[in-house]
Structure 1
Amino acid sequence: MLAAVADSPGPLAEVLALRDVDGPAAPGRGEVVVRMVASTVNPSDEVTVSGAYGSRTSFPMVPGFEGVGVIDAAGPGVPAAAVGRRVLPLGSPGAWQQYKRLHYSWCVPVPDDLPDEVACFAYINPLTAVTMIERFCPPGVRNVVVTAATSAIARHLAELLTDRGVTPVGVVRGTPGRRVAEPSRWRAVIRTNEPGWRERLRAVIGPEGVDVAFDCVGGGVGEEVFTLTAADGVFVHYGLLSGTPLSVECLTGRRDVRVELFRLRDTVHKDGGQHLSGLFAPVFEGLRHGRLRTAVGKRVGLSDLTGHLTNPAAGHAGKILIDLQS
């Protein structure tokens, strides 16, 4: 079968190679083989391949945490009706290959009315957004700040917050060509590449401070938002796009702010996948009604993936959709 393989840690575009490798062995007890249909590229793939999680990453590896496929074969102990069922195969990387073998408990059934190009993106961003909003935004929350507001997950957060009557403040780098989706969902968008952005952010937030902050940037931007979080407010840190961690002094300087270090992996892996269907129920319901959708910016075959990562096409807003059967 065809697979995209990273032999060693490093920048994704530099260490990824396309190979013809042996297909998976016959599934053992409780296992299935999933014929992958579609996948995508996320920052989590780049971070993992970089070697940042060395204690739980071994090379060579096939990246890809998100995708959709069809159960092609099932081992003993798996219901016969599972064969032919579309699923999200979770719990491990390996979506950038034509077949993936895993335990059946990590397969989330996909509703029949969701097309592959929608179901493909159901995991990382929508599930993170839904889980964080449900966990950290109880009734009464009004003042919310979201960093990296042009990102796909920020779009989901703004959509879910708007549904609750909350119009968040967005913080962006001001990268040319990058804009927030649906500006009407944002009370204000502060660009950190403009002089005086800190003063404007403070003015927009007001003296009451931030009830809930969603930060996936860290560094100076994350620390500024942290300082503006209200007493008894919640600062949710769930990424590090800047590459610069929040300082210890920042996090320990205020005991009146609740700091939450959110990792989707902890939520998904807490009981070996037994709760996954319930976890995804609100995501699938949202997708079914046209919510939490991810725009496809570029479609590439698996055979073209490495070339695309090395020389990405300009002008494609949205995510890459990888066709795993071409």
Structure 2
Amino acid sequence: MLAVVADSPGPLAGALVVRDVDAPTAPGPGEVLVRMLVSTVNPSDAVTVSGAYGSRTAFPMVPGFEGVGVIASAGPGVPAGAVGQRVLPLGAAGNWQQYKRLAHSWCVPVPDDLPDEVACFAYINPLTATLMVERFCRSGARNAVVTAATSAIAQHLAELLTDRGVKPVGVVRGTPGRAVADPTRWQTVVRTDEPGWRERLRAAIGPRGVDVAFDCVGGDVGGDVCALTADDGVFVHYGLLSGRPLPTTCSTRQSGPRVELFRLRDTVQNDGDGTGRHLSRLFAPVFENLRRGRLRTTVGTRVGLSDLPRHLELPDSGRVGKILIEIGARG
């Protein structure tokens, strides 16, 4: 079968090769073989291929955390009727290949009324945004700040927050060609490449401070947003786009906001009974939102699996939307 492989750590553009590899062996007890239909590229794929998670990443590896496939065969102990079911195969990377073998408990059934190109993006960004807003945006919250406001997950956060009557303040780097998708969902957007941005952010927030902040940048920007979070507020840190950690003052202050480090992996892998039923419960509100046309991700480019490495080496300046990797047609 065809697979996109990273032989050693490195940048996503340049580290990948297309290879004809042995197909997985027949699924064992409790396992299934999933024929992949579509996948996509998420920043988590780039972080993993870079070698940042060295303690839990072995090379060579097949990247790809998101995707949709069909269960082609099942081993002993898998419920009857599983074969032919469309699923999200979670639990580990490996979706950039034609077939993936995994435990059936890691397969989330996809509702029949959601197309592949919609369900493909249901996992990392929509699920993370949904869980964080549910957990940390308390009733009565009056304001919010979201860093990296032009990112896909920030768009989801803004959508969910405005549903709760909170228009967030966005913080962006001011990258040319990048803008928030729907300005009506934001109170204002502050650019950190402009002089006086901290003062403008403080003015937009108000003297009391931020009730809830969602930061995936870290570094000085994350530290500044944390410092502007109210003492009874919560600062949620869930990424490190700057490559720099938060200042130590965020966690060592005698007083100040509650600092929460959110990792989707911890929630997804917290399977109390080992059946995977918690995954279906987690995804239920995400699927319902997608069904209503919400939390959607724009597809900018469609590429075949064999064309993916070459496509990732192209300049991404001005690229709009996500990549949809078309691995195989159903049937």
Kindly provide the amino acid, as one letter, of the partner of residue 265 in structure 2: R
Deviation at 1:43, TM superposition (A): 0.7
Distance in 2 separating the partners of 1:317 and 1:49 = 23
SS of match in other structure, 2:302? strand
Aligned to 1:65: 65
Contact persistence 1:159–1:185 (CA under 8 A) = yes
Which residue does 1:319 correspond to in 2?
A: 322
Deviation of 1:316 after TM superposition, in Å, equals 2.8
Contact 2:168 2:188 in 1 (8 A): yes
Identify the match of residue 291 of structure 1 among 287, 291, 294: 294
> Which of structure 1's runs of 4+ aligned residues deviate more than 3 A?
312-315
Question: Partners in 1 of 2:17 and 2:177 — Cα distance?
Answer: 30
State the Cα distance separating 1:250 from its structure 2 match. 3.3
After superposition, residues 47-62 of structure 1 pair within 5 angstroms as 47-62=47-62
Unmatched 5+ stretches in structure 1: none
Task: Tell me the number of residue pairs that the alignment of Structure 1 and Structure 2 aligns.
Answer: 326
- Residue 254 of structure 1 deviates from its aligned partner by 4.5
Which residue number in structure 2 is paired with residue 217 of structure 1?
A: 217
Contact 2:18 2:306 (8 Å CA) reproduced: yes
Q: What are the within-5 Å matches in structure 2 for residues 101-180 of structure 1?
A: 101-180=101-180
Provide closer, same or farther for how the CA distance between residues 108 and 245 of structure 1 changes in structure 2, counting only shifts above 3 A: same
Which secondary structure does the structure 2 equivalent of 1:95 belong to?
coil
Q: Which residue identity does 1:38 align to in structure 2?
A: V
1:82 match: secondary structure: coil
Tell me what 2:188 maps to.
188
Give the counterpart letter for 1:287 in structure 2: L
Root-mean-square deviation (Å) = 1.1
Q: CA deviation at 1:317?
A: 0.5
Partner SS, residue 202 of structure 1: helix
Deviations 1:68-99 (A, max 9, x none): 00000111111231111000000000000010
Q: Is the 8 A contact 1:74 1:80 kept in 2?
A: no
The one-letter code sitting in structure 2 at the alignment partner of 1:280 is F
SS in 2 for 1:154: helix
How far apart, CA to CA, are the structure 1 residues paired with 2:111 and 2:277? Answer: 18
Choose which of 281, 292, 295 in structure 1 pairs with 2:284: 281
Code of the residue aligned with 1:304 in structure 2: it is D
Q: Residue type matched to 2:110 in 1?
A: V
Matches of 1:52 and 1:235 in 2, distance apart? 24
Instruction: Report the AA paired with residue 90 of structure 1.
Output: L
- Taking every aligned residue pair, what percent have the same amino acid on both sides? 77
Q: For the residues of structure 1 that align with 2:256 and 2:162, how far apart are their CA atoms?
A: 27
Give the AA of the match of 1:289: R
Question: For residue 158 of structure 1, what is the amino acid of its counterpart?
Answer: A
Amino acid at match of 1:300: V
Partner of 1:96: 96
- Aligned partner letter, 1:160: L
Matched, 1:24 2:24: yes
- The TM-score normalised by the length of structure 1 is 0.98
By how many angstroms is 1:256 displaced? 2.6
Q: Secondary structure at the match of 2:81?
A: helix
